[in-house]
Structure 1
Amino acid sequence: MYIPPAFRETDLPFIQETMRAAGLANLVTATADGLLCTPLPLFLDAGEGEMGTLYGHVAKANPHWKAEPVGEALAIFMGPDAYVTPSWYEGKALDGKVVPTWNYVAIHSYGPVEFFHEADRLLSVVTRLTDRHESSRSRPWAVGDAPADFIQAQLRGIVGVRLPITRIDAKRKMSQNRKAEDRAAVKEGLSASADAGDRQAAALIPV
């Protein structure tokens, strides 16, 4: 990923929180037959390894897990993003020499990918994924709410994914390359948006 110095993010707690908040990721592997990509929910075990380890699962019918990966795998997470209109820049009124852009946060996590079939490991993954996404609900659903034999049958239809993170490219492009007046105007404009994603992006703009 191309990352100009102004946009490079190195704060590991921020990076990990962005990965947790994203929920859905794209898992990319290179194979002898070309690139393969699968969108899937992943969760981060921050206590496993120096930079954490990602876990998830894919359908057993998905050929992705059967293809031998060449080199590292890549998990892509997107954080808040928003369109930025040049109308918010001071230069619009001065000389018109402004153009639109897009603010965003992107996390690329690399490492060797492992696909596994053990029922106990699969149950742990689906339980942790479920608990993570159900915990905020007033009446959270749990894997144990379903009959055990039904869950075991479901587990036979999936393959686990484990990716210990060995390196991370993280980019936070939030108008840092603009002067203070422009940053403030963009932050104000996005903060006033009816779109929740715009407001999330606004909160990350430094002023």
Structure 2
Amino acid sequence: MHCPTTFREERLEALHGLMRAYPLATLITAGSDGLVANLVPFSLHDGGERGILRAHLGRGNRQLDALREGAETLVVFQGPESYVSPSWYPSKAEHGKVVPTWNFTVVQVRGEPRVIDDPDWIRAQVRQMTDNHESGREHPWQVADAPDDFITALIAGIAGIEIPVLSIEGKWKASQNRAPADRQGVIDGLKADGRCPGMVDWMERG
């Protein structure tokens, strides 16, 4: 990933924070059938130096073949993003030397995948992911709320994935290369537009 030093994010806790906040990632494999990409919700777990990713795929998904081959695997987590209008920069009135750009946050993870066919492992992964996303709801849904034979049949149709994180890169492009007044202008412009509160939150964190 092209990443100028100004935008590089290396704090593991910050990278993990984005991955947990935006768990629907693009799973990309380069196997014998070429490049394949799918959107997959992941959960992040402790383990190793950089963490472990877990997920599941339907058994009809041909990407499983590449994963079973141990194909080169890239997982891309996309955080807040937004168009940035040059009209938001106070410096526009000073010299006019401004152009549109895009602010965004992204984490790229690489690792060696393992496909898991153990139904108990898959059930536990589904249960944990569900509990993560249902927590905080007034009436959280649980896997146990559905008939067991129904869940058992569904689990038979999916395979688990585990990817220990071998490398991780983060890019936070949030107007760090602009003067403080221009950066504040972007924050004010995004607030006025109301289009991307997530990017506003990210920029205000500093």
Shorter-chain TM-score range: over 0.9
Q: What is the distance in 2 between the residues matched to 1:136 and 1:82?
A: 28
Question: 1: distance between equivalents of 2:22 and 2:28?
Answer: 16
* Equivalent residue number for residue 105 of structure 2: 105
Equivalent pair of 1:192/1:199 in contact (CA under 8 Å): no
Aligned partner letter, 1:163: I
Query: Whole-Å Cα distance in 1 between the matches of residues 194 and 180 of structure 2?
Result: 24
Q: Aligned letter for 1:146?
A: A
| Structure 2: segments with no counterpart, 5+ residues | none
The aligned runs of 1:33-44 (5 Å cut-off) are 33-44=33-44
Task: Please give the residue correspondences for 1:174-189 in structure 2 after superposition, counting only pairs within 5 Å.
Answer: 174-189=174-189
Partner residue of 1:74? 74
Deviation at residue 71 of structure 1 after TM alignment: 5.0
Q: Which amino acid aligns with 2:135?
A: S
8 Å contact 2:70–2:113 — kept in the other structure? no
Shift of 1:164: 0.5
How many pairs does the alignment contain? 204
Percentage of pairs with the same residue: 41
SS in structure 2 of the partner of residue 175 of structure 1: coil
Select the residue among 191, 200, 203 that pairs with 1:202.
200
Q: Which residue of 2 aligns with 1:91?
A: 91
- Write the deviation string for residues 144-175 of structure 1: whole angstroms up to 9, x where unpaired: 11111111100011111111001101100000
Match of 1:55 in 2: 54
For residues 121 and 158 of structure 2, what CA distance do their matches in structure 1 show? Answer: 11
Q: Offset of 1:136 from its aligned partner? A: 2.3
Distance 2:8 2:97 in 1: 26
**Secondary structure, aligned partner of 1:123:** helix
1:96 deviates by 2.2
State the shift of 1:87 in Å. 0.1
Describe the superposition over 1:85-133 as per-residue Cα deviations: whole angstroms up to 9, x where unpaired: 0001123223322111111100001100111111011001100111111
2:84·2:102 contact (CA, 8 Å) conserved in 1?
yes
Separation in 2, partners of 1:41, 1:159: 14
How far 1:191 moved relative to its partner?
2.6
In the superposition, the TM-score normalised over structure 1's length comes to 0.93
Amino acid corresponding to residue 52 of structure 1 in structure 2: G
Describe the SS at the equivalent of 1:162. Answer: strand
Structure 1 unaligned residues grouped into runs of 5+: none
Amino acid at match of 1:199: P
